[in-house]
Structure 1
């Protein structure tokens, strides 16, 4: 028989040493009646470095009703932290700001029966809320503006972002409209020593400027309109460009991880639309679900800054001008506008994967359209730009992005609003190039192929598409854009061959144009130029038939076809509608429903940024 184990060895070993601050968390959140903790307790509490992961876990484990039962403790923690920040003594103020960021993120993320009143009860109490929150916002404002270091000021911004993103659907945000944080946030941006510090205050401004902006005159929106500090504007633009570049890098990283064979052709093949672009699916075809999952996580939460970018562009012409023209001191670095357009291209390629991606993609298109209003060619496409200028490159990048968007989002439940923006942006760019007689070197044949593929798609799936809202306006815009290119091609296409190519593509699509027109009754619409396209196509079809008969061969060579097209100009009369190169002024109220959806997405992303350890 073996020896009995010693009673000493049977004693349970002590748990891993518990930090003193964790003991204080346990003492604070005990569900017990009684008054406030002692002064000594709070002094020690804020002098000790917080264990934010443990605090987050403890608060995360509490239900809304648990928090309401612990309201004496949570109110004490909230008010004591505010007092500590106001006093401004190191390290207690730092610890108080970090603690508040986690407290607010946790308290505000719960699903309450009565969100506004329950949150108020947990943090301040209905009787005290006005005085407590007025004081809280004033303390944050002063700390952001004149805190003892940039780190402290940045932490105060993070607390404000935590409250703003967490309480966005409650009445608490009205305290930020009563006390305007704009001057403090801009002072912080002016004082910062790096572009990375600019991201949070600018993202925060975007959320504040969107709060109930259709219901009342939002003071942050007015501040954006009046702002003229060019140095701060350029810092914001540089920071936004860097953020766009980081977001894009994540797309590139995922694409590099995908197996070979992922291409536009295989993507169309997966959707059963390979015939539309005359391409066979590449082999091996990858599992679309694998790709979808990888891309569904993108863009990262930093995309919330795109809302602020839209608002500043919408409100401020000086911001628009700088956004389009700013070059970085390091000439090897990509200008911010190039990073923005490039990210937009990736968002458009993957817009169909998630609602969130399509919201940000469409938001960026609205931003681009507003930039075009301020700078029609995005940026000015001078007939003879200086040798070092990148400006024509931005215009071609924009054309590339629109082609990507058109090609990648063909679905039977077509996103009509997204496609309307593609066509609107293209129409503005082509109209400006034609008006200024700027012959832009570009692979225009790819654009014309994409536009005619869209017509082919609409003709093929008329039964699915006919009932979609606003599809009529989209069809008119598509036809009128091609008619504009036909009538003004000599003014913006770089070579006669590029112009000939457009005519040849129309001839090839002749039967489809007729089918498209008949499927939707386009000939009856006074605002549609389908008659122009059909008559041009028919004119050349007849000439080509004559050419075949005259030469005695079954098929003409490409050189002979080109010759027929050139000769055909002499007998061609293009009857186009007036106003093909005009457009309606942007009215933000028309996008009200959409912009509210984007604001909700940006708020959710801001919460993720705050919650990130």
Structure 2
């Protein structure tokens, strides 16, 4: 029998997409002079017709060492020029493919550890001789697409490409090309045309990086743009998007550990007393991670989207119209939190978990900067204290001690005080972050100063403030040797004393009732000789405010001891102590000193080093930011 002329060809074990072969052809190792490198027009036509394989291109580029990338710079330069040409042609789908390809290429190629980053990156992209012309053409092409691209989807790709090159080359000369050509109007128009917050996110991220590019070294044009931007519609869209991002970031913490008390039910009560099997209904519960797993999960938070906090801070610091809108923009949907509420909620979780990583602490500082900027402006603080601005905010309850749970709506300033008190309670350690505590106490001082001067009385659990401040006194006294060696600790100590002395001397101006004022004195008396120990430990004998606190405590101790310095044998009840406190007002003299309610306004230059560290954190987060590619 004759053999069949048909033979079966074995199938390859793996199928390789055509675009992968094109990538390999583009970056093939060629022994010829790279200056002669050239691919046909047909190659490029086909290259920009195939949808990019992000993982395949990234894998190929990551396998190349920096020196190898430089050796093949003619290949990467040609890719860059050809992609720019397609972007300028604005023909689908090649312009979209060019933008997507460049985004992946820039992420992988520009983050390599080059010996001379600025010159080497320019060589990889455009060559040192043609750098200005090629980069200017590239930026102009991106600007055109971001402003007038045929669809929001295409414009979003252009924003992501710009974000990639800015983040990857932030510490080189690359971002300077985006300061030579002002992208701010195009970014604002893009945001105006966006349909949802997810599309706004990369633009806000990009804006934050551009504003912070060498802003302490020269007059950054983007920073100047923020100063005079007054388009309410666009600002409100930015703030709404920011609020949505804050809510999602906060929810990530809740996913690790649900921290809201369960409402009462027969089932929960039976479970509490060990009779859960008798519960009339049995619902599956979400498994709770163990302690070590929770620590690991919390340490990875917040997610990379937190970088938008940088642009929000810059807007708030430069633009009072933005601040007003942050306080007044309503919730996008019924049942949602307004953006301010979402921001305060996220800040609460940041404060309780700031100690878990240096990165988390940096973003916590940004939140504190924003809070201080808001409470320094009298018109904004008036609004924060107004019942018309009432909101309900979910505050973190994942670590003890807990503040009282308040589910009802209340003035935002009450929420801010809760944040500060929680922040003081949950970050105590021997190696104290003094600058953090100065900021927390500074926010509290500004609020108390305003309430005292305007005689505004807000509903708040003030006893928690006094308990927290006096506990802080005791903590500092216990670890005095560790604390005194920390830079700026004396400024923190003075601020703490002034805050409590201000409350003592002017509490009757802002506390809601006499009982609340009595409680402050009661807490002070409870401290016994702790205040005197604190004074001696930190050498505050010449401090009028400190001596006032000690004198008030001693005054009442003497009254409680019967005036003869000897302790009474009878143990007084809290009610009897309160009677003594009221009687003691008649013979009490409080001279806390002038200027307790004075403070210096926020100055960005004072935090220059810290803001540079924050910008670096945002850059790293931009590189890992997940998108829907």
Same fold (TM over 0.5): yes
2:16 pairs with one of 15, 18, 21: 18
CA 1:612–1:196 in structure 2 vs 1: closer, same or farther (change >3 Å)?
closer
Are positions 1:541 and 2:557 aligned together? yes
| Greater share of helix | 1
1:324 pairs with one of 316, 322, 327: 327
Which whole-Å deviations, capped at 9, do the CAs of 1:567-596 have from their partners, x for residues lacking one?
Answer: 111111110111111111222111101110
* 2:283 counterpart residue number: none
* 1:192 counterpart residue number: 194
CA 1:490–1:44 in structure 2 vs 1: closer, same or farther (change >3 Å)?
same
* 1:111 counterpart residue number: 113
2:82 pairs with one of 72, 80, 83: 80
Q: CA deviation at 1:501?
A: 1.1
The alignment yields a C-alpha RMSD, in angstroms, of 2.4
Conserved 8 A contact 1:376-1:428: no
1:212 pairs with one of 211, 214, 221: 214
Are positions 1:399 and 2:417 aligned together? yes
Distance 1:48 1:251 in 2: 40
CA 1:546–1:155 in structure 2 vs 1: closer, same or farther (change >3 Å)?
same
Conserved 8 A contact 2:351-2:426: yes
Are positions 1:564 and 2:580 aligned together? yes
Farther-moved stretch of structure 1 (29-38 vs 439-448): 29-38
Conserved 8 A contact 1:348-1:408: yes
Distance 1:500 1:515 in 2: 24
Q: CA deviation at 1:331?
A: 4.6
* 1:348 counterpart residue number: 351
Distance 2:62 2:192 in 1: 37
2:228 pairs with one of 226, 229, 234: 226
Q: TM-score, normalised by structure 2?
A: 0.88
* 1:306 counterpart residue number: 309
Distance 1:198 1:182 in 2: 14
Q: CA deviation at 1:292?
A: 2.9
* 2:405 counterpart residue number: none
- Please list, as runs of the form range in 1=range in 2, the aligned pairs for 1:496-507 lying within 5 A after superposition: 496-507=514-525
Distance 2:470 2:567 in 1: 30
* 1:440 counterpart residue number: 458
Q: CA deviation at 1:495?
A: 2.0
CA 1:44–1:348 in structure 2 vs 1: closer, same or farther (change >3 Å)?
same
* 1:269 counterpart residue number: none
* 1:271 counterpart residue number: none
Which whole-Å deviations, capped at 9, do the CAs of 1:429-468 have from their partners, x for residues lacking one?
Answer: 1111122212111111111111111100000011111111
Are positions 1:253 and 2:252 aligned together? no
Task: Give the gaps of 5 or more residues in structure 1.
Answer: 1-7, 261-285
2:504 pairs with one of 486, 506, 517: 486
- Please list, as runs of the form range in 1=range in 2, the aligned pairs for 1:415-426 lying within 5 A after superposition: 415-426=433-444
* 1:577 counterpart residue number: 593
2:377 pairs with one of 374, 377, 391: 374
Q: CA deviation at 1:404?
A: 1.2
* 1:363 counterpart residue number: 366
Q: CA deviation at 1:375?
A: 4.5
- Please list, as runs of the form range in 1=range in 2, the aligned pairs for 1:157-168 lying within 5 A after superposition: 157-168=159-170
1:293 pairs with one of 288, 292, 296: 296
Distance 1:51 1:289 in 2: 37
Q: CA deviation at 1:381?
A: 4.9
Task: Give the gaps of 5 or more residues in structure 2.
Answer: 1-5, 263-288, 393-408
Distance 1:235 1:67 in 2: 41
Are positions 1:241 and 2:257 aligned together? no
* 1:173 counterpart residue number: 175
Are positions 1:606 and 2:622 aligned together? yes
Conserved 8 A contact 1:399-1:426: yes
Distance 2:135 2:626 in 1: 20
1:454 pairs with one of 457, 468, 472: 472
Farther-moved stretch of structure 1 (69-78 vs 221-230): 69-78
Distance 1:188 1:101 in 2: 19
* 2:271 counterpart residue number: none
* 2:268 counterpart residue number: none
* 1:511 counterpart residue number: 529
* 2:604 counterpart residue number: 588
Q: Secondary structure at the match of 2:51?
A: coil
Distance 2:259 2:436 in 1: 28
CA 1:329–1:106 in structure 2 vs 1: closer, same or farther (change >3 Å)?
closer
Distance 2:312 2:463 in 1: 33
- Please list, as runs of the form range in 1=range in 2, the aligned pairs for 1:30-69 lying within 5 A after superposition: 30-32=28-30, 33=32, 34-69=36-71
Farther-moved stretch of structure 1 (464-473 vs 578-587): 578-587
Farther-moved stretch of structure 1 (337-346 vs 373-382): 373-382
* 1:143 counterpart residue number: 145
Which whole-Å deviations, capped at 9, do the CAs of 1:391-420 have from their partners, x for residues lacking one?
Answer: 843111111111111011001000000000
Which whole-Å deviations, capped at 9, do the CAs of 1:539-574 have from their partners, x for residues lacking one?
Answer: 111111128999986111111111111111111111
Conserved 8 A contact 1:379-1:394: no
* 2:538 counterpart residue number: 520
1:27 pairs with one of 25, 28, 39: 25
* 1:495 counterpart residue number: 513
Q: TM-score, normalised by structure 1?
A: 0.90
Which whole-Å deviations, capped at 9, do the CAs of 1:58-101 have from their partners, x for residues lacking one?
Answer: 11111101111111111111110110011010011111100000
Distance 1:99 1:562 in 2: 73
Conserved 8 A contact 1:248-1:346: yes
Q: Secondary structure at the match of 1:90?
A: coil
Distance 1:607 1:583 in 2: 39
CA 1:321–1:386 in structure 2 vs 1: closer, same or farther (change >3 Å)?
closer
CA 1:363–1:549 in structure 2 vs 1: closer, same or farther (change >3 Å)?
closer
Which whole-Å deviations, capped at 9, do the CAs of 1:124-149 have from their partners, x for residues lacking one?
Answer: 10011111000000000000000111
Distance 1:9 1:408 in 2: 75
* 1:466 counterpart residue number: 484
Distance 1:57 1:458 in 2: 53
CA 1:39–1:558 in structure 2 vs 1: closer, same or farther (change >3 Å)?
same
Distance 1:403 1:421 in 2: 12
Farther-moved stretch of structure 1 (340-349 vs 416-425): 340-349
Conserved 8 A contact 1:324-1:378: no
Are positions 1:554 and 2:556 aligned together? no
Conserved 8 A contact 1:301-1:609: yes
CA 1:549–1:373 in structure 2 vs 1: closer, same or farther (change >3 Å)?
closer
